[in-house]
């Protein structure tokens, strides 16, 4: 579990000072990324990319929905008196039904993952707006059990400090 905090600064010089001070801390943060003009682009940071989170949600859902879809398709083919795939024989017909159910589970995972809007995506939208205003962001990730050096962060006089969810 890691704690992720994004510090919004309006001065590039203060961003560099804060980044150097945080990197010199013992223990050092697990991740320290500057984002903005002349620095890393926001979409290239996986933690700040909603498409990456959506893709991960879809894969997790597919892992559950595809096997259940296969079993549902297999069961549906067995309990109904429909013989849609009769040319595949008594063993092939339920398997084809199961494969179609598995495909439905895969499609459902895409639809469900796209329809979920998390609270974190709202925070990411706020961060994107801050970047468009000409600010810089400093992504700070601390390992579990380690405290964020709040005194250093406050000394940099940030415009905002946004805490993202824990991983």
Domain limits, the chain: 2-37+134-164, 50-115
Q: Which CATH architecture is the domain 2-37+134-164 placed in?
A: 2-Layer Sandwich (3.30)
pLDDT for res 38: 82
Q: Are 153 and 37 in contact (CB under 8 A)?
A: no
Tell whether the model's pLDDT for residue 77 goes beyond 80. Answer: yes
Tokens, residue 111: 């639809």
- In the sheet that 160-164 helps form, which strands lie side by side, from edge to edge? 31-35, 136-143, 2-9, 160-164
Query: What integer is the mean pLDDT of 18-39?
Result: 85
Please give the Cα distance from 101 to 163 (Å, whole number): 40
The residue among 160, 107, 88 whose CA lies nearest residue 131 is 160
Tell whether the model's pLDDT for residue 40 goes beyond 90. Answer: no
Q: Look at strands 2-9 and 31-35 and give their pairing.
A: unpaired
Residue 40 three-state SS: strand
Tokens, residue 71: 């079993």
Tell whether the model's pLDDT for residue 47 goes beyond 90. Answer: no
Element (H, E) at 126: helix 119-132
Tell whether the model's pLDDT for residue 75 goes beyond 70. Answer: yes
Residue 163 three-state SS: strand
In the chain, the percentage of residues whose pLDDT exceeds 90 is 24
Query: What integer is the mean pLDDT of 121-128?
Result: 84
């Amino acid at each position: 579990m890691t704690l992720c905090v994004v510090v919004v600064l309006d001065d590039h010089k203060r961003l560099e000072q804060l980044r150097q001070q945080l990197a010199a801390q013992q223990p050092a943060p697990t991740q320290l990324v500057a984002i903005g003009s002349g620095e890393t682009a926001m979409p290239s940071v996986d933690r700040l990319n909603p498409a990456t989170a959506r893709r991960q949600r879809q894969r997790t859902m597919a892992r559950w929905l595809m096997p259940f879809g296969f079993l549902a398709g297999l069961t549906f083919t067995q309990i109904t008196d429909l013989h849609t795939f009769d040319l595949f024989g008594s063993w092939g017909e339920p398997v084809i039904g199961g494969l179609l159910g598995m495909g439905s589970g895969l499609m459902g995972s895409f639809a469900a993952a796209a329809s979920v809007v998390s609270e974190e995506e709202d925070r990411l939208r706020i961060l994107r707006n801050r970047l468009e205003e000409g600010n810089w962001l400093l992504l700070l990730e601390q390992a579990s059990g380690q405290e964020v050096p709040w005194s250093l962060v406050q000394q940099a006089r940030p415009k905002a400090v946004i805490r993202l969810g824990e991983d």
